[in-house]
Structure 1
């Protein structure tokens, strides 16, 4: 940490502007405890699908010289898509990550999985490496998106993140009767942020 404030970034697995998961993420930012700054990272929908040919941080110049990589699909070195650069910089600079995800067909939304793939590289030194990561979310099903959260944790762990198992908050959206999030939901999101902040402090 560069100062005493814990920096937590939030990745939201839904692109819908008024999604309940985005509202959970905003609740995390609006109700951050003292000493914690929570910032939403937008732009996941602008990320290209992960492709090692366009990930210049992973390209070996010798491979380009030997024409193992097609130069027509490989921009010049340093020409990473700005959305990728922004994502890696924001996550890399944070002390911890909170992932807020819906459940699509029983698993992680493609846009979120793609972001995790980008954050996993360069291999062994990606932006998620050794960073505390908590996963919460809202879904319509009776299990409140537990399959999606489990799959997301698995991907994050393989990508190098340090999954915080104590963060496991799920909200069944069928119980939402109006536009306001119930107090217990806001409290659950706040508790997840506090656990992440405590993890950061314990390793400081």
Structure 2
């Protein structure tokens, strides 16, 4: 029988920004979230801009960039995805990254990895439809997702300043609450429902 194990904090969190644009408001939001994270979450970016288009013909010989990306996910205790919405879905770069992370069959790096999903948009519904599409994809990847607090952030100009501080008090309070809930969720997945180690 596999041996079960539990994992106490601190937890390493890989933060993936769904946009590869340098000026992305979601990257700004991601940096602000990392700053608001509870002390037992150690957050760092996992970049996706270096990944080529996924090609199943390369499943037997992953390119170095894809291998490094997949290893970064495997090394993290949890994943936080901060993404825009494109055409009522997720950016192609993010879907491509998930394809690399979850292939080949039987070697899915996202299995049992606790995931938080959040996104920002200038519009009022703040990535709601794109997030639901993303959660459908992650569900197939067997990644447990935090659903109790949904975070569709309307992002006016100047919401996050150059020091990665949230300038609107009510939004800052909400994002702090979100990160605390994500911390609790990661802890619950990794301790209350321990994984099985082969």
TM range (shorter): 0.7 to 0.9
Deviation at 1:178, TM superposition (A): 6.1
Alignment match, 2:53 = 49
1:85 partnered with 2:67: yes
Higher relative contact order (CA closer than 8 Å, sequence separation 6+): 2
Q: Would the aligned equivalents of 2:36 and 2:179 in 1 still touch at CA under 8 Å?
A: no
Task: Give the one of 171, 178, 197 matched to 1:192.
Answer: 178
TM-score (norm 1): 0.80
* Local SS of the residue matching 1:88: helix
Task: Give the one of 11, 36, 54 matched to 1:6.
Answer: 11
* Local SS of the residue matching 2:118: strand
TM-score (norm 2): 0.82
Q: Would the aligned equivalents of 2:29 and 2:160 in 1 still touch at CA under 8 Å?
A: no
Alignment match, 2:44 = 39
Alignment match, 2:124 = 142
- Aligned counterparts of 2:143 and 2:9: Cα–Cα separation in 1: 22
Q: How does 1:15-164 map to 2 (within 5 A)?
A: 15-42=20-47, 44-56=48-60, 77=61, 80-164=62-146
Deviations 1:153-185, CA, capped at 9 Å, x for gaps: 111111221121124211122x33565332333
Structure 2: 5+ residue stretches without partners: 1-5, 192-198
Deviation at 1:18, TM superposition (A): 2.4
Structure 1 runs, 4 residues or longer, greater than 6 Å off: none
Count of aligned positions:
180
CA RMSD of aligned residues (A): 2.0
- Aligned counterparts of 1:82 and 1:101: Cα–Cα separation in 2: 25
Q: Would the aligned equivalents of 1:24 and 1:189 in 2 still touch at CA under 8 Å?
A: no
